[in-house]
Amino acid sequence: MSETSGNPRNSEENSDFEFRSVHGGLLKNLGEKKQWKADYRGISLIFELRTTENGYSTRVYCMPENLSRLWKVSADVCFRQDTPTTVTHGNEQYRHVDFDSEHNFYEENREGSIGGDFLFVEFKIRIREVAGLILAPILNFEKPRNGFYDTVLVVEGRKCYVQKQLLSLYSPYFHTLFTSSNPPNSEYLIDDSQIKFTDFIDFLHHIYPDFGSAHSLVTSHNVESLLRMSRHFDCSLVASKAEQWLMDVKWMGPAWKLIMSERYGLAGLQNFVIQNLQTQAEIQKISKSEYYSSMSDATKTSLLSRMFKILEKDSEDVTSMSSEDNHRCRCDACEGSGASGEGTRVIRRRYDGSPAPMAGLGALEGVRGKRRRPNDDDGPEDDSDEEMEDQQEEYSRIFDTIVMD
């Protein structure tokens, strides 16, 4: 099939146009629903299960956020109820559906018990015709395609068909591998028990042009394996994708992001997380997380420095507010005295708006006292690694005291 953004094209009878996905959920209450998002070659899909009075309903949405009237997807859709461990095989009843901007979902209602609170349903879609959309090509590294590969990588005994030039461009590891030897049949063995075949295939999808394919999406399930692969194969392209995803994701806590930044040497991620800590409470929350004990003294020192800046800013804000309030009181008093004919007599008001003491402030001042100022004349500085490590440990200890106060 040659997909275009203009005239519709019919699909061939092959797996490149079939999509299968199995989803399950715990559904107890009437009207309760669960949804799962998917992307098939650039076509966004949402699968939904919902309980009804007589059983349950299954629904699939196609391109729900695309408001254009130029696109159309004709497909055959099949829903089948399954068990958690097996997929039922047998007669498949497909329904032909024409999806467009006005009719972007298809629903079937099933009567009867769902066999418990946990429901598994298999969704199958066969794409028949596409108009107005450009489908992302299928990249299958497990099958040889003439003109699309010139060498073979063997991982866990299984072959991956790849292009030398593309991998060498993004990975010094592969550049060295391909230029240092020429094995028989151009088959290079990746002999490392830590490299899993499925993870490696996922890694390749992120090196090759992604075309918006779901195979090249960074998720919570593959972000760490991508970082491991990037470190092993020295691939900054994939590492930067994973790092950017960690910066963008909102639901993941800052403590875990700091652990990831340490584990894979992501200075940009660590800086991003620390710079976005705006309150003392946010830092205290990190200190009480399950990941805090695994953080290095260097990271704790960075958190301590951030704590300094937050407290200094809070102190400056309070001082500024006090100054403005006093100034406003004096101005009001002057206006009042002028109106009553008292001339230049100024009524002064006592100001009791001193800020409440902050937890650990004395400890902070103690650490600040150890900082070297430009006018300190007490001999040359000792920049040895041992002294810096001792200082980091001391900062870490004091930080622990402050955030736990």
What DSSP line would sit under 312-363, residue for residue? HHHHHHHHHHHHHHHHHHHHHHHHHHHHTT-TT---------PPPPPTTHHH
Long-range contacts of 203-209 (CB under 8 A, 24+ apart): 203/229, 203/230, 203/233, 203/235, 203/238, 204/139, 204/141, 204/160, 204/162, 205/139, 206/237, 206/238, 206/241, 207/166, 207/167, 207/170, 207/171, 207/235, 207/237, 207/238, 208/139, 208/166
Query: Residue 364's pLDDT is what?
Result: 44
Q: Yes or no: say if 142 and 198 are a contact pair by the CB < 8 Å rule.
A: no
In one letter, which amino acid is 305? S
Our CA angle for 198, 201, 202, nearest 5°, is 90
User: Which pLDDT tens digit goes with each residue over 144-169?
Assistant: 877 778 899 999 999 999 999 999 99
pLDDT value, residue 91: 54
Query: Which of the two residues, 362 and 305, has the higher pLDDT score?
Result: 305
* pLDDT of residue 5 exceeding 80: no
Q: Going from the N-terminus, what domains does the chain have, and what CATH number goes with each? A: 9-131 (2.60.210.10), 151-252 (3.30.710.10), 272-368+384-405 (no CATH)
Amino acid at 6: G
pLDDT, residue 213, reads 56
Q: Give the 3-state secondary structure of residue 310.
A: helix
Instruction: Name the nearest CA neighbour of 219 among 176, 252, 186.
Output: 252
Of the listed ranges 79-83, 166-170, 269-273, 361-365, the least confidently predicted one is 361-365
Count other C-beta atoms under 10 Å from residue 160's C-beta. Answer: 18
Instruction: Give dist(CA 170, CA 183) in Å, integer.
Output: 22
Highest mean pLDDT out of 63-77, 134-148, 199-213: 63-77
Q: Quick one: tokens of 291?
A: 């990941």
Q: Is the pLDDT of residue 56 over 50?
A: yes
Pick the closest to residue 244 from 192, 282, 204, 206 (CA basis): 206
Q: How many CB atoms lie within 10 A of CB 48?
A: 19
Q: Which of 88-97, 120-129, 215-224, 239-248 has the lowest mean pLDDT?
A: 88-97
Which of 44-53, 57-66, 234-243 has the largest mean confidence? 234-243
Q: Which single residue is written with the structure tokens 């669960």?
A: 34
- pTM, two decimal places: 0.59
Looking at residue 34, its pLDDT comes to 86
Please list the alpha-helical segments (H only) found in 249-296: 254-264, 267-275, 280-287
Q: Decide which of 101 and 185 is more confident.
A: 101
Beta partners for 155?
158, 190
Q: Of 43, 2, 3, 1, whose CA–CA distance to 21 is shortest?
A: 43
- For residue 184, the model assigns a pLDDT of 76
CB count in 10 Å sphere of residue 208: 18
